[in-house]
Chains A and B, each alone.
Chain A
Amino acid sequence: MADERFEIILTTDRTMMSNHHGKEFIGFMTTGPPIGMPESLWMWIAAPKMKTDRLGRPWQAPYAMRKLEALLQDHGYKAAIIDPDHLHKHLDHAKILMLSHHDYFALCPPSSEWWLVTKQEPVNARSFRRLMEKPEIRRAKKNGLKIIVGGPAGWQWLYKVDLWERWGVDTVVDGEGERIVLDLVEKVYSGEPLPRYVFVGPNDVPMIEEIPKIKHASVNGLIEIMRGCPRHCKFCSVTLRPLRYIPLEMIEEEMLVNVREGVKGGILHSEDVLLYGARGLRLNPDALIKLHKLARKHLETIAWSHASLAAIKNAEEEYGLISKLRKIICEDGVQDYWGVEVGIETGSVKLAKKIMPAKAAPYPAEKWPDVVEDAFAIMHENNLIPAATLILGLPEEEPDDVVKTAELLDRLKPYRSLIVPMFFVPMGVLKDKDWFTTFKVSDEHIEVMRRCLWHSVRWAEEIIEKFYLKGWSKIPLKLMLKLFLRYVRWKARSVEEKMGLRLKIVETPLIKY
């Protein structure tokens, strides 16, 4: 029994501790409130419970938590990731509870949009609050448990100091955790006081050899292939950190960890997958082909986390690389599409030049709208399905910039994709900018949001039908999502009619909504 006791517990709430039915994109539903159905049903669709062992260790867990679990175990600590429903088995004898999240309080996009539009709190924030209010955590805290929180949304605690205090969080960490976590754990074990807050600067991020290999399966087989990004967009925090490419051997070992534990598919994670092995922004086709052949060798399905639109255009036009990678990924008909997140951000050349001058590289920023459209066309032809984002409310944005974005959306109508508008959240070098207090939703913003909604609903129906949810086992989920889309159509139409917007819809000859 003693061997089954863990002194350091890593966990997160259900919206994160789920594989979303093996469909990563469905996980985005956790950023919304339950619309048109009870929360329990919404949670079943968006974040079903994770299979666990007897001790409550989940089959799959968020990748970043797997990294820290491995790091702590490598240093001899009795640490484990525990599913949130099984914390009661461990917290009475644990010393430290570590939490991670992508969006603790639904302040990140797109949660913040859904909250603003629907006036209802998204389920990720609700679910995290339920976790923190669990009696077993409250009891353990009273008995001296130390709580350390971090992850990509660590910064959000600075806006929620009341909850920081109420829930007894000892330390908030903002930044890559490998170097700081061991220091914090040593402090707890030696009875020293913990710092209240740590921001890990670019000089304290780990070198490749300090990054541990995961020991157990990550959610949907996600595996990091690089860290950092050389594009230096001003709204992004990742770009502030140095660029590091994970060696193929390490990537392969982690793929095999997932496969051994029954996770047959994988998501290659990077801010820009096509920059793997690149020299600056110069693509490295050999490295990408080797990477994908490796993935094909071990994985049944392959997806990309993110890619830049400029790299997609450049890869295809200069090297025919998207077609080549498609041949590898879709070899033998094992899959006929793959997914990726891409950033449109704006249709305004003026804003693109100001806030993301290298996002279009190797093309000039003046060509940004053309780069976006060309990349969308390439993805459409190659069955690469993008979930695209754009940002509303960027600093110095003027109404005309938003109109340019709306015009770009019209050009993207023929291309299979989902497009999600997001309100600007101050990160990267823009993180000291005013935020919720100053943001006003204009008529132009509403128009962009409408165009995104109708574009996404129209294409989501096709994607679900033809690509995303195949096989008998997915029929209930498919039906639920189709019903949901119908509800969204109906709801959106009735809201538009109330606002007198229906008459203004301009239908292009290409697509009628």
Chain B
Amino acid sequence: MLGQRFSETWIVGEPGEDMVEALKRIVRDSMLRGVKRLKLIFYLSGPRDLNYLNLLRPVLLENVSMSIVVEERPIKNLLDDAKLVKDEVNIVMGSMVPVEFMKMVELSGEKFKVVRVHGR
């Protein structure tokens, strides 16, 4: 199952309450577009703290029709992962996003679709 194509959303920076609506919108839009599989990848900086799952609960419960996979990756892998991206990736930015990544996103053209930036 995991080997199939997943539509990806990256959550970069520290997750906060303010990104819940953005993620809900992504889930709803994906269901409406007939997406079958969605992957939510959290790039986290600190030691493993699952508190973000409390924020994610209402987002996950919006869904009934897609397979959803939630992954965690260390933020130090972010730039390397970004270089390997082929399909469009939605980006939801929390607080404390690395500047290098912001620059990369700006220069990447249509590869990254920034759905929400912290504080804006």
Contact = CB atoms under 8 A, between A and B. Distances in A.
A198 to B, nearest CB: 5
Interface string A19-40: 0000000000000000000000
B62 A201 contact: no
B53 A196 contact: yes
A158 interface: yes
Contact of B37 (A165, A184, A203, A240): A203
B84 interface: no
Contact of A204 (B37, B51, B54, B61): B37
B109 interface: no
Contacts of B72: 193, 196
A183 B2 contact: yes
A485 interface: no
B64 A196 contact: no
B12 to A, nearest CB: 16
B32 to A, nearest CB: 15
Contacts of A201: 36-37, 63, 65-68
Interface string A99-141: 0000000000000000000000000000000000000000000
Interface in B27-63: 36-37, 48-51, 53-54, 56-58, 60-63
B70 A197 contact: yes
A502 interface: no
Interface string B1-26: 11110000000000000000000000
A164 interface: yes
A466 B73 CA distance: 61
Contact of B70 (A159, A196, A426, A432): A196
Interface centre among B3, B64, B68, B73 (most CB of A within 10 A): B64
Interface string A194-235: 011111111110000000000000000000000000000000
Nearest to A240: B64
A319 to B, nearest CB: 34
Given A158-B61, A179-B1, A198 B69 contact: yes
Contacts of B3: 183
B71 interface: yes
A158 B53 contact: yes
A190 to B, nearest CB: 12
Contacts of A202: 65
Interface residues of A, number: 28
B61 A195 contact: no
Interface string A147-183: 0000000000011010011000000000100011001
A394 to B, nearest CB: 17
A240 B65 contact: yes
Contact of B61 (A184, A203, A431): A431
A203 B53 contact: no
A158 B51 contact: no
Given A164-B50, A196-B53, A432 B61 contact: yes
Contacts of B49: 165
A201 B37 CA distance: 8
A395 interface: no
A48 interface: no
Contacts of B37: 201, 203-204
- The interface centre, meaning the residue of B50, B71, B73 with most chain A CB atoms within 10 A of its CB, is B50
A180 B51 contact: no
B60 A203 contact: no
A446 B31 CA distance: 40
A200 B6 CA distance: 13
Contacts of B64: 240, 428-429, 431
A248 to B, nearest CB: 28
A165 B47 CA distance: 12
Interface string A225-269: 000000000000000100000000000000000000000000000
27 contacts: A158-B57, A158-B61, A161-B51, A161-B54, A164-B53, A165-B48, A165-B50, A179-B1, A180-B1, A180-B2, A183-B3, A187-B2, A195-B70, A196-B72, A197-B68, A197-B70, A198-B67, A199-B63, A199-B66, A200-B1, A201-B36, A201-B37, A201-B63, A201-B66, A203-B36, A426-B61, A431-B61
- In the A-B complex, the 7 residue pairs with the closest CB atoms: A201-B67, A197-B70, A179-B1, A183-B2, A432-B61, A199-B68, A165-B50
Interface of A: 158-159, 161, 164-165, 175, 179-180, 183-184, 187, 193, 195-204, 240, 426, 428-429, 431-432
Given A175-B67, A199-B69, 15 more contacts: A158-B56, A158-B61, A159-B57, A161-B51, A161-B57, A183-B1, A183-B2, A193-B71, A197-B68, A198-B67, A201-B36, A203-B36, A204-B4, A204-B36, A431-B61
Interface of B: 1-4, 36-37, 48-51, 53-54, 56-58, 60-73
